[in-house]
Chains A and B, each alone.
Chain A
């Protein structure tokens, strides 16, 4: 009877997660269109381009002003009908929702990719690798620093290194981009060792190795700024977390039994604490792929964060909706997978059921 219950539970969770995604995307569509305001901009642009086309077309030279007006209006109404703008926004919002959910992301209004394409998919796919490269590297390093330093310090509670980690934790109240400014000031402006920003030298090196080297050089400052900003709090949180678990009764029992320290760490502390840590890490990782708007701006990194920024400032709705849809799907899939894995693996969750 256990299996059907899990399936029922997962099915229910899956539907709820999907509905959450739908609702979030729909809200984004409304916000990103400013409740239909962006449509007015599009309509205005359309009208201007049609009227310019007709007025500059020599074929219509013989028409008088009223005829031209009528022609423009007729073409404009036709064009509105063609792109579905003749109906009120609420109708179109559902069409947008359908397109977004089926990942039919359409064309950007104003922005274009470096290769000149207006396709939202191409624009996003062009930026995504840059962000993934920078922030996955950063998050992986942060994760391992937090894990190992946390374990190490939890074993040495009250030692000088432990006290130091507690003392330094407030440094994490300053965000990564803020340290970034200081690092640029020191290493780029003052010492002139590293580049101010960007992802690769201009012009980019032809040779593949030199290119990689150049990208790595540009990654140093952003990665370090995030490490300074977030490793202290990471270590502190993990250390406290491990400390709480290492005073559990079963750990005491294992100690009393005289089990070796490394075994206790692996089997009695790390194993039960791993699920929340993994959840935390995977959600952080997915979140990091949406880029860090300000860090990317400070370092002029051509990633999703900068794309988000330019799209929001220019009201490029299709790009914004596209980004949110992709993020929502990634998040949903991750959350669902985690729930699936835990439901199968963790007996406590399995018994807890829905």
Chain B
């Protein structure tokens, strides 16, 4: 037995495409196992559904970080400076100034050496005052030493100041810089550009504006009107690259969905194709073995199912019930078990049925079930393995297709879901190619690997083609 298995694998690896396919499948299985243990499913769906607040420290629509390796233009990473954590570049001092109030000084400084502007700039505050809110003045210091007052605000206990969304600040800064370079900035320059750009003529063109590299400072001068009150601030300079996978329009880490997409796609594809092939084969065997009434009924049911449009019915059912992915899998199986495959299997079994060894089994009195399971099915099993492997790809794409139609599991993070998000948010119009390409490449790799393996298995198990 073991020598036969060995021989089989030798034969399999004789074909390079099968070896490549198997290698990819192993990598995907490895990723799946890693994912299941590293990011538990509940955690993944929770993170994926957590909403934008949870992901507030991530940049929106950021490309994966490794893009910087291939590009001479270095895209910014996100810089987070938080006074509640002790980290270099963020400091806070509170001085009791009088009996009723104290002065607070928060200081953030960072070295900005990227070639592109940040995508956003936000400040977050946490304060534990009781009645009167602290008043803060926020200063911005550029590498050339110039200091600008960004704003003076009263903050609530849990507050944020979206610097890059401050329209008034944008107008003021535009006027300020325009006066400095003696030319008017005509276009609607974003604050991130106005705060980080070199103040020369290049700023007049949004495409040509250059980053002023060096040490930036943002400091806050504040008055706290209660002696026991404290204040913490966090500065987030949002980059344009994030993690190994990038982020989507809701600032979510695409990595989670890419990772979890793997086990979901693999199990959906494999379970669907294997169970459908086995059930269809069994139905075909029953139909061919018993003939007569059983056969007629099965044949008619099969023909009815061949007229029913599979995808529209699946769409209706999933729109109506909003099933999770595993129940959807059952629906897919239920809708396909009487598919056209039954007819092919029936034709195969009709031939096998006449073989002498089946005759012999019948002669010694084997029962119907025994003949079906021990004599008929094992004979056909090897020949259907290739098509089983091949159809994994179809079902992997079926899941993706349902997600692209906005159906499928509303909770599960899957590859199709990412493509759908990317599509509905105009990733192709906006040039956010990574968003579409990452899940697409994984999808393509999955189905190609199964297809390459399947085609080779076909050559091995159905040698009729090989001898040709």
Most chain A C-beta atoms within 10 Å of own C-beta, residue among B406, B419, B451, B454: B451
A236 nearest in chain B by CB position: B455
Find out whether the CB atom of B308 lies under 8 angstroms from the CB atom of A324: yes
A172 CA to B454 CA in the complex, in Å?
Answer: 12
Query: Which of B184-192, B232-240, B428-436 lies at the interface?
Result: B428-436
Knowing A174-B447, A188-B428, say if A244 contacts B464 (CB, 8 Å). yes
What are 22 A-B interface contacts by the 8 Å CB criterion?
A: A19-B300, A27-B304, A28-B313, A172-B451, A173-B393, A174-B443, A174-B447, A175-B394, A175-B401, A181-B436, A189-B431, A243-B465, A243-B468, A244-B465, A247-B468, A293-B315, A312-B316, A313-B406, A323-B312, A324-B307, A324-B308, A324-B312
Query: Does chain A have a CB within 8 A of B320?
Result: yes
A270 CA to B130 CA in the complex, in Å?
Answer: 91
Find out whether the CB atom of A178 lies under 8 angstroms from the CB atom of B309: no
Find out whether the CB atom of B397 lies under 8 angstroms from the CB atom of A175: yes
Query: Does chain B have a CB within 8 A of A170?
Result: yes
Find out whether the CB atom of A184 lies under 8 angstroms from the CB atom of B428: yes
**A-to-B contact residues, CB < 8 Å:** 16-17, 19-21, 23-24, 27-28, 31-32, 34, 37, 157, 166-167, 169-175, 177-178, 181-182, 184-185, 188-190, 196, 240, 243-244, 247, 290, 293-294, 297-298, 308-309, 311-313, 315, 320, 323-324, 327-328, 331-332
CB distance from B400 to the nearest CB of A (A): 8
Residue among A20, A31, A196, A298 making CB contact with B307, cutoff 8 Å: A20
A19 nearest in chain B by CB position: B300
Query: Does chain A have a CB within 8 A of B303?
Result: yes
CB distance from A278 to the nearest CB of B (A): 18
A247 CA to B437 CA in the complex, in Å?
Answer: 45
Chain B contact-residue range equals 35 or more
CB distance from A58 to the nearest CB of B (A): 41
CB distance from B181 to the nearest CB of A (A): 34
Find out whether the CB atom of B312 lies under 8 angstroms from the CB atom of A308: yes
Query: Does chain A have a CB within 8 A of B390?
Result: yes
Interface residues of B in 298-340 (CB under 8 A from A): 300, 303-304, 307-309, 311-313, 315-317, 319-320
A90 CA to B83 CA in the complex, in Å?
Answer: 69
Contacts of A247 in B (CB 8 A): 468
A172 CA to B394 CA in the complex, in Å?
Answer: 10
Find out whether the CB atom of B404 lies under 8 angstroms from the CB atom of A297: yes
Find out whether the CB atom of A178 lies under 8 angstroms from the CB atom of B440: yes
B301 nearest in chain A by CB position: A23
Interface residues of B in 152-207 (CB under 8 A from A): none
A240 CA to B464 CA in the complex, in Å?
Answer: 10
CB distance from A161 to the nearest CB of B (A): 16
Knowing A173-B451, A185-B433, say if A23 contacts B440 (CB, 8 Å). no
CB distance from A293 to the nearest CB of B (A): 5
Find out whether the CB atom of B440 lies under 8 angstroms from the CB atom of A182: yes
Find out whether the CB atom of B309 lies under 8 angstroms from the CB atom of A324: yes
B430 nearest in chain A by CB position: A189
Top 8 nearest A-B pairs (CB, nearest first) are A173-B451, A170-B451, A24-B307, A173-B393, A312-B315, A312-B316, A173-B447, A189-B428
B 238-274 to A, binary, CB cutoff 8 A, 1 in contact else 0: 0000000000000000000000000000000000000
A264 CA to B175 CA in the complex, in Å?
Answer: 85
Query: Does chain A have a CB within 8 A of B405?
Result: yes
Query: Does chain A have a CB within 8 A of B444?
Result: yes
Find out whether the CB atom of A312 lies under 8 angstroms from the CB atom of B428: no
Contacts of A244 in B (CB 8 A): 464-465, 468
Query: Does chain A have a CB within 8 A of B127?
Result: no
Residue among A196, A240, A308, A327 making CB contact with B429, cutoff 8 Å: A196
Find out whether the CB atom of A24 lies under 8 angstroms from the CB atom of B304: yes
A23 nearest in chain B by CB position: B304
Query: Does chain A have a CB within 8 A of B450?
Result: yes
Contacts of B309 in A (CB 8 A): 290, 308, 323-324, 327
Contacts of A23 in B (CB 8 A): 300, 304
Find out whether the CB atom of A32 lies under 8 angstroms from the CB atom of B316: yes
Apart from the given pairs A313-B315, A320-B316, 11 other A-B contacts in the complex at a CB distance below 8 Å:
A19-B300, A20-B307, A32-B316, A181-B440, A240-B468, A290-B309, A297-B404, A312-B312, A315-B319, A324-B307, A328-B307
Query: Does chain A have a CB within 8 A of B17?
Result: yes
B 425-468 to A, binary, CB cutoff 8 A, 1 in contact else 0: 00011010100110010011001101110110000000011001
A182 CA to B280 CA in the complex, in Å?
Answer: 34
Most chain A C-beta atoms within 10 Å of own C-beta, residue among B312, B319, B423, B428: B312
Find out whether the CB atom of B316 lies under 8 angstroms from the CB atom of A173: no
B447 nearest in chain A by CB position: A173
CB distance from A352 to the nearest CB of B (A): 13
A175 CA to B312 CA in the complex, in Å?
Answer: 17
A166 nearest in chain B by CB position: B455
Find out whether the CB atom of A31 lies under 8 angstroms from the CB atom of B401: no
